[in-house]
Amino acid sequence: MDLNGRKWINIKKLLRFSRNFFVVILTLFLFLLAIWEFKYLIFETSYFELKKISIEGNYTIEKEKILALSGFRLSENFLKLNYGAAEKKLRAIPKIKDVQIVTEGIGEVLIKVSERESVLLLLHDRKFYELDSEGYILSASNKNVRVDLPILTGVAMPATNIGENVRSEIKIKSVINWVSNLLPSFLTNISEICLNGNELVLITNNGIKIYPGNAINYKNNFELLNIVLERFQKDGMKLSYVDMRFNNEVVVKPITN
């Protein structure tokens, strides 16, 4: 092969390499451009903005408090939301039993909250501790007491910090179990619950002591109890105590002068 032939072959190889190199560079450029456009679409445009935050299940906890703890803000990027971190922060609220955050559509989030329900107030060291059915302390205060809850007195508290559980105290546990088996309507006239040894004693708003026995017996005789109390009230007679520990019976002891 002469010199001119070799030179031509080298030129063709160079042209082929240049063409392949150009194709690689062009492909890389288009790939980077696609990534940039995708990133712009996802993170820079308003299409993926958080447009709506809904909250369900909150009855006593303010909506603003839930929003603040979730860390979610309208107009922020919807795809950057950290559901796990938000749920963890919300579960730290003593009154929240469970929380679930779900997507309802592009740009829409639903925060579903399950609140703990208060069943009892416990008076300890001049403070009222609000307890739920699992024994968690939901609040502690010496004012703004919920008048719709019965007050448990004369029992020591094993813990006093909000969010802690007091069911380790067997007496508190027994009262919580008893109260949790009843509807609120059964306790509307009860102002105080105390223990006489291991026996439960209820004190009405009028100061009448009631020995209710177990929860089933109390529920079965509840209507009869109301009839008896109304009759003695109409007759102007005051009662010392009411004994409901016997099946289908309500025994009363009037106060005699």
Q: Name the residue with higher pLDDT: 98 or 76.
A: 98
- The DSSP secondary structure of 159-204, one letter per residue, reads --STT-B-TTSHHHHHHHHHHHTS-GGGGTTEEEEEEETTEEEEEE
Confidence of residue 64 (pLDDT cuts 50, 70, 90): very high
Of 244, 245, 243, 241, the C-alpha closest to 255 is: 241
Burial (Cβ within 10 Å: 0-12, 13-18, ≥19) of residue 207: exposed
Per-residue pLDDT reduced to its tens digit, 131-161: 999 999 999 988 767 888 899 988 888 989 9
Residues 116-124 have a mean pLDDT of 91
Q: What is the mean pLDDT of residues 74-91?
A: 88
**Residue 112 predicted with pLDDT over 80:** yes
- Once rounded to an integer, what is the mean pLDDT over residues 119-139? 92
162-188: pLDDT as tens digits: 999 998 899 999 999 999 888 888 888
For domain 49-115, give its CATH number from 3.10.20.310, 3.40.50.2000, 3.40.50.1820, 3.30.360.10: 3.10.20.310
Q: What is the mean pLDDT of the chain?
A: 82
Q: Measure the CA–CA gap between 135 and 201, rounded to whole angstroms.
A: 20
Q: Reply yes or no on whether the pLDDT at 256 is more than 80.
A: no
Q: What pLDDT does residue 106 have?
A: 81
Tens-place pLDDT, residues 208-250: 899 988 888 888 888 888 888 888 878 777 888 888 888 777 8
C-alpha torsion sign, points 92, 93, 94, 95: negative
What are the backbone dihedrals phi and psi of residue 135, each rounded to the nearest 5 degrees, phi first? 90, 15
Compute the average pLDDT of residues 75-100.
90
Class of domain 118-254: alpha beta
pLDDT, greater one: 220 or 1:
220
CA atoms of 211 and 193, how far apart (whole Å): 10
In this prediction, residue 3 carries a pLDDT of 45
Give me the count of residues in the chain.
257
Q: Among the residues of the chain, which ranges form H helices? A: 3-39, 63-70, 83-91, 170-180, 215-220, 222-234
- Interaxial angle between packed helices 63-70 and 83-91, expressed in degrees from 0 to 180 and rounded to the nearest 10: 130
Please state, for a pLDDT cut of 70, what percent of the chain lies above it.
Answer: 81
Q: What pLDDT, on the 0 to 100 scale, is given for residue 238?
A: 82
- The pLDDT tens digits for 181-219 are 888 888 888 999 998 777 889 998 888 899 988 888 888
